[in-house]
Amino acid sequence: MKNINKDEVLRRLLDCGVVAVVRMSDRQKVKSVIEAIRRGGIMCIEITMTVPGAVEIISELALTIDRDVLLGAGTVTDEATARAVIEAGAQFVVSPIFNPQVTALCKDLNIVCIPGCYSPTEIFAAWNAGADIIKVFPARNLGPQYFKDIAGPFPHVKLMPTGGVTIENVGDWVAAGAAVVGIGGELLDKKAIAEGRFEILTEKAKTLVRNYHRAKGAA
């Protein structure tokens, strides 16, 4: 994998705008899934720690994945796991929670950190601790209006909704101020993956990227 610095990783994350959250049990199909959504224009991949052998998968992908793809680790909740995925080659670290130790480690190692927060207090604390993007999770119950409300007191904070983002509503999140979106199950069609119909994932990715950038251009 091409070595790029933290600033470049962050810039590419924000330019791409979509992070595909890979959370699946069949590790043998992970590479096929990544290639399918890459063909659809999604270049930011998050391998969650719920995938069997996730750290090993990240290590393998770091050596073989196309240079235009950013490789991240998700569901990272403790410092030891954060260190393991970074050593394996993860270029950004995502968590469903805000663990100050994880954020501090990423900051020390110059790795993009995206902790999960829910309340304004958590968002403010994580941003002040050095987070690069705040993952608002679960965003489903909060909705896009929450992002508009948060932008009032915190206009400088970069937010990423995860949980509740769909191919159809991605534009609503962008219009509300989301800097990046995270999407998993809505994109990674389980039936299509089970049947090996990866072209369906490619078409979903194309539509998602098109909807995202159309909304971004209008924002």
* Per-residue pLDDT tens over the stretch 10-56: 999 999 999 999 999 888 899 999 999 999 999 999 999 999 999 99
> Quick one: 42 exposed, middle or buried, by C-beta within 10 A (0-12, 13-18, 19+)?
buried
Mean pLDDT, residues 52-81 taken together: 95
Using alpha carbons, select from 202, 208, 162 the residue that is nearest to residue 182.
162
pLDDT of residue 31: 92
Q: How many residues are listed for the chain in this entry? A: 219
Q: pTM score, two decimals?
A: 0.96
Is the pLDDT confidence value at 73 over 90? yes
Q: Would the pLDDT of 139 be above 80? A: yes
Question: What pLDDT does residue 143 have?
Answer: 96
Phi-psi region of 196 (alpha: psi -120 to 50; beta: other; left: phi over 0): left
Give pLDDT, residue 150. 97
**pLDDT tops 60 at residue 179:** yes
Residue 168 in this model has a pLDDT that exceeds 60: yes
Residues 184-210, mean pLDDT to the nearest whole number: 96
What domains can you pick out in the chain, each with its CATH number?
6-214 (3.20.20.70)
Evaluate if residue 2 carries a pLDDT over 60: no
Is residue 219 predicted with pLDDT exceeding 70? no
- Residue 185 gets which letter from DSSP? T
Residues 37, 22: Cα–Cα separation, whole Å: 11
| 94-129 pLDDT per residue, tens | 999 999 999 999 999 999 999 999 999 999 999 999
Active-site residues, by number, are 46, 135
Q: Assign 85 a pLDDT band (cuts: 50, 70, 90).
A: very high
Q: Which residues of 149-180 are buried (b: 16+ CB within 10 A; e: fewer)?
A: ebeeebeebbbbbbbbbbbebbbbbbebbbbb
Coarse DSSP helix, strand, coil percentages of the chain, rounded to the nearest 5 percent: 45, 15, 40
* CA dist list (Å): 25 to 46, 51, 53, 189: 14, 6, 10, 13
Interval 179-184 mean pLDDT? 97
The overall average pLDDT reported for the chain is 95
User: What pLDDT shows up at residue 93?
Assistant: 98
Q: Which residues contact 22 (CB under 8 A, 6 or more apart)?
A: 30, 33, 34, 45, 46, 47, 48, 51, 74, 184, 188
Does pLDDT of 1 surpass 60?
no
Question: How confident is the model at residue 25, as a pLDDT?
Answer: 86
Do residues 45 and 207 lie in contact, with contact meaning Cβ atoms separated by under 8 Å? Answer: no
Name the residue with tokens 């909807």: 211
